[in-house]
Amino acid sequence: MNAREREIATLSFSNTGLDYGVVEESMEPWDQTVKNWTEQGYDAGVLSELHGGELPTENVYALNEPFDRWQYYYNTMQTETLMRYETGLGLDPCARITFRIPFICFEEEIIEDTDEYTIRKDRDGWIRKYPKDGGLVRVVRTVVEDEEDWEELKERVRKVIREELTPERMEEAYGIFREGAENGDYAVRLRLSGFFWEPRFLMDNELSLFAYYDYPEMMKDIAQFMVDVYKEQLEKIFQIVTPSLVFFEEDLSGRNGPLISPELFEEFMTPYYKQIIPFLKEHGVANVFMDTDGDFRIIIPAALEAGIEGFLPIDVNAGVDIVALRKEYPKLKFFGGFNKLSIIDGPEAIEAELERLTPVIRQGGCIICTDHQAAPDTTLENYRYYVRRLKETVALYRNADVVIG
């Protein structure tokens, strides 16, 4: 059984024939955790090869050396480094790839520069005021504030797609993973921005939430534009490499629940998921997940109706328990659900967490991992213990009968 087959089998609801359950992480490692573990003796080259994104809208990591703008759109900058990093910790191999619609498509421009501050248009089109005394950065203007702004940005993005997203560049980014993906040497995971996530990075949280009421047709047009671009680009990307799992970044929930109601989800997100998810399935994607922190539970029925199959990374400290959820939603898949804080506390707490999660592990349909990666206070020794014991635990149930409920 190869890595791709193992991931798909682990996320099925039958452990029959599975040699062992896959052990992966849902999210990239936190940069501070990487730094701390480097100091504790594990140096996989992440710090020398990658750096954290400079804008809120950027990927978690980008190359330390200069890179062309198109590499952010056809984004595999972190793929090889993080796969080496994770396999060195004992995790199963996973190639993390990303496609970004080119909304970040502006040149930096200094608008005003004084002794006290700089006002600058950034690469995402936002205008920000940067105090020179190290104070808080203030947003002067977002890139989209009304329908006219959106139409201008949409035309700019279309131009960038025509000029910069060429077949040659697509091949350069994703082609190096063609053979490994075909052989199943590693699972391939594709990251896409979701229909709630993207408007926030065009307008900010407050404006985007008001826009559902002030500019509903614009919000629907943004979502439809995203669907159209995804279909056009992924049709070609999937000829090079087909991911076994796609997840949509949404981050639509906090500790006290979602930022939007199920009714808004159904009106502004469901119609677009119902277009893109069947497309993904027709092109060989085995699993489609939604990424959200916090307590997303009241959104689950709407998400399932839209075609979402599972959630990640399952925020335990927001009160989300996958054991209880599985009883309520027997076919809902999970990727995450292990309380990362228990790893800080060491072996006894890790064992208790594994015991808590055993019913869901037995049932299948889940990849157990930390709820949003190991925290910086986690020691390397404790994390290695966690990986070893998790692998031993999921291996116990590789041929177990499935018990739902």
**What pLDDT is attached to residue 404?**
34
The amino acid at 248: F
- Asked if pLDDT for residue 402 goes beyond 50, the answer is no
Q: Are 177 and 76 in contact (CB under 8 A)?
A: yes
CATH 3.20.20.210 fits 3-103+188-396, yes or no: yes
Is the previous residue joined to 313 through a cis bond, with omega within 30 degrees of 0?
Answer: yes
- The set of residues, in sequence order, having a beta carbon less than 8 Å from that of 38 and lying 6+ positions away, is 46, 47
With cut-offs at 50, 70 and 90, classify the pLDDT of residue 398. Answer: low
d(C-alpha 337, C-alpha 316), whole Å: 6
Q: How many CB atoms lie within 10 A of CB 322?
A: 27
Residues 6+ apart with CB under 8 A from 366: 10, 11, 322, 333, 334, 335, 337, 360
Exposed/middle/buried for residue 230 (C-beta within 10 Å: 0-12, 13-18, 19+): buried
The pLDDT of residue 405: 32
**DSSP 8-state code for residue 78:** T
Judge whether residue 403 has pLDDT over 60. Answer: no
**Which among 257, 363, 378 is positioned nearest to 319, based on CA atoms?**
257
C-alpha span between 6 and 12 (Å, rounded): 10
Distance CA(172)–CA(71), nearest Å, equals 9
Q: What percent of the chain has pLDDT over 70?
A: 97
pTM above 0.85, yes or no: yes
**Model pLDDT for residues 62-76, shown as the tens digit of each residue:** 899 999 999 999 999
pLDDT at 60: 76
Q: Tens of pLDDT along 153-176?
A: 999 999 999 999 999 999 999 999
Segment 167-189 shows an average pLDDT of 98
pLDDT one-digit tens code per residue, 242-268: 999 999 999 999 999 999 999 999 999
Instruction: Write out pLDDT tens, residues 346-388.
Output: 999 999 999 999 999 999 999 999 998 899 999 999 999 999 9
Sign of the four-CA dihedral 167, 171, 173, 177: positive
